[in-house]
Structures are given as structure tokens and as C-alpha cells.
A = this chain, B = another copy of it.
Amino acid sequence: MNPSMIPASREDAAALDATDPLQAYHDHFDLPEGVVYLDGNSLGPPPRASLNKLRDTAEREWKDQLIASWNDAGWIDLPKKCGAKIASLIGAAPDDVLVCDSVSVNIFKLVSALYLARKAVSEPCAIAYETDEFPTDGYILQGLAKLTGTSLKKIASNGPDAAFADGIKIVVKSVVHYKSAAITDIAAWERAAEKNDAVIVWDLSHATGVIALNMQRVGARYGVGCGYKYLNGGPGAPAFIYVAKKAAEELDQPLSGWMGHAAPFDFADGYLPAPGVKRFACGTPPILSLSALDGALDVFDGIDMHAVEEKAKKLGDLFLARAMALDLTSASPGLDKQRGGHVSLRFGHSYEVVQALIAKGVIGDFRQPDIMRFGFSPLFLTYTQVWDAVDILGNILATEEWRKPEFAIRRTVT
């Protein structure tokens, strides 16, 4: 935002809170006292509706209704039901999104299906991902390339025009970068892809639930994304897959498990894909995790995603502007640029600073090699919380409290 609009005092921040159009959403969450949770971009906290739904699924539907709940409680339709809720957040048609498996598995399904479609018409087809992409996206493509013998390339982060050289026909790319939070111009990339007879699989993990997306309008037909970040669907919540209707009918995905069959309970011998995106289902879905996501998604019912995006940007701007005043280096787009829901700062001892912050109740995370990353989920954070978080960060840096030996102890998950 315009630097002059950034709160210059804690009172200014409180004034923004008082007129925050999203303030009613805070009531959906019961965050622990004294915690400023700047890690909703990594694991969203539980909305009350999610915990309630999960408890009902486990302690009534499973315990009392047992197997009948596959029909009576609609378990069998949960992947499509949750998909429709996510569709409304990403600008997809309601029946073009399915919740299933993990982002990693869904990338494999979608890219291999697109690869098979090319192969069927004997078109050479290299697949590619961008340097510095979230690692699992690259790892999955490495696995697929090994299995199929197709060519795998890496492309530089130079924008769309040079991206489709060397016979590259399928690109996996994030909409919001997991480190920097830079937002990709989807429409520009789709135009470049079309010009080169190529397709893009969008990784929406760090975008869904925090920025306003309209996949249909920008011509994006393929996407995957995450349920456990801004959607608050629970740790390791099932992921989603988006395939535009017409495109789905032309694709056969090789992880063709029974739940993607047109009639799974016919127990037919040959695989026959279900219509549309449902063919991207594979095995039996984890209903308990899925029900927690289902409940969490209800919080987004009727939400204005433009208001969500705007508040995320303003919270991030407030944090970034004050962090710059502490002489920290930003690894994210600046105040005048588009940016997703998080802000990354570079510092030689980021790991230790993040641990020191956590000890004081300000929870962010560390990303290799020297990034401290802070997420600004607009549904439960206030401007004053973000104001206070920077005060605490400033204090830790000024006193060099991060040098305490306990903050150097490495943990498995960072």
C-alpha cells in the first residue's frame, strides 16, 4: 500500500482493527492466549467449525452409524463437496475441483495425464519447473521423468516469454512463491503457454484462501493446492486438484484407483474413468482429515476474497515497513508490489531469531538458507498483533537475545 497509509503508531494500528471488515472472522478461532500466530501460511489454526465437524464425524458418524455413514453422512461425496467449496475461492466451476491425496500425488497425476495426452498424438514433450520452486514439485517431476523417460528441464525465473523454449510443453509453477510470496501473472503465463502450444499446472498451495483467484477468467485449466495452509483444514489436510471440465474429459491419469472409476461399486474388471475431475480420485479418502477440512471451509462461505487479499497485503506491508526500519533485508516484493500472504526476511542467523521469537509467542518459520518467514492470515490476525510482533523482533535483535545457546538447537521440522 501507499507508505503513507501504513500505521505509524500502535494507535493507528488499533484504528485499522476497529474498522476491519473481516473482524467478525476472528470469532471462528480460539488461538492460545499470548500467541501471535504468523505461521498460518504453513499450518492454519483450527476454526471452531472444523473441530466440531471432526468430532461429529468421529464420535457420531463413525462410532454410532459405522459403515452406513459412507451413504447416510455423505462420506462418499466429501471429495466433491469440499472441492466445490474450494472452487468458489479459486474461480473454478463448482464441479471442477476435487479434494484428494496430497499436492505431490496430485502433481504426479496431472502432469502424467497431460504427458500421456501428448504422447497419444506422438508429440514430443518436455516437462519443466522453475528454479527455486517448492522442492516437492521438482522432486515429483524428477520421479515422473525417470519412470517415463521424458525430458525434464529447469527454467530460469525470467518470466513467461522465455519459459517455453527447448520443446517444453508442460510447466509446473506456483502462483505465490513459497519463499518470496511474489505473485505470478497467471494470465500472461497462460498467453505465453498458448502461443507455444504448452500447458501449465498451477501450484496454488500458497495462494488459495489468501489471494483472490479467478482461474476460469485467466484461462487457467489445471491446478493443485493445499488444504492445510490458509484454508485451515488441519495438519496434512487432503489437497485439491482443479481441472477445467472440457480438459478433464480428454485426460486419463495413471493413478487410476477405484475411487476414480465411473462406478467403483460395480467392481468391474476394467478401469473406466469417472466423468470430469472425479477421475483424478484414486484410493479411499481419509474421511477424518477430510471432515476437518470440510468444517474449516465453511468459514469461507460467502467471503469476499478481495477483502482477504487486501488485508493480507496491508498486514504484510505493516510488518515489512517496520522490519525495514530495523535494517533487515527483505526477500519479498516491496510495499508497492503485489505480494501474497507472507513476508520473508534475510538475516545471517534467521534460524536462531525465529526460535527466539517463538519463545516469546511470535510464531513464524525458518526456510533455508537464511530466511525467516512470517504469514499474515487475515481471518484471525489484527494490525496491533503485527505491530507488537515487530516490537518483539526488534527487541530480540537489539539485545542479541537470539545468541542464547538454546536457540541454536536444530529441530526436525523448521
Contact = CB atoms under 8 A, between A and B. Distances in A.
Interface of A: 30, 32, 35, 37, 39, 42-43, 45-46, 51, 54-55, 58-59, 62-64, 66-71, 75-76, 101-105, 108, 112, 116, 135-136, 138-140, 142-144, 146-148, 228, 234-239, 252-259, 261, 264-271, 282-290, 292, 358, 363, 365, 367-368, 411-414
Contact of A255 (B45, B105, B411): B105
A254 B42 contact: no
A20 to B, nearest CB: 22
7 contacts: A66-B363, A135-B258, A139-B261, A143-B256, A144-B254, A147-B254, A237-B288
Given A104-B283, A239-B283, A283-B101, A136 B289 contact: no
Given A256-B139, A288-B292, A368-B265, A67 B54 contact: no
Task: Give the copy number.
Answer: 2
Which of A69, A253, A257, A411 has its CB near the most chain B CB atoms (within 10 A)?
Answer: A257
A374 B68 CA distance: 15
A266 to B, nearest CB: 6
A58 B69 contact: no
A234 B66 CA distance: 10
A104 B282 contact: yes
Nearest to A282: B104
B289 A257 contact: no
Contacts of A104: 255, 257-259, 282-284
Nearest to A265: B414
Given A236-B287, A284-B236, A271 B139 contact: yes
Contacts of A136: 257-258, 283
A105 B101 contact: yes
A367 B71 contact: no
Given A116-B147, A136-B283, A271-B143, A66 B54 contact: no
Nearest to A65: B32
A54 B287 CA distance: 13
Given A46-B62, A138-B269, A139-B258, 14 more contacts: A43-B62, A45-B63, A62-B234, A70-B412, A76-B412, A102-B285, A104-B284, A135-B261, A139-B257, A146-B254, A147-B147, A147-B254, A235-B288, A289-B289
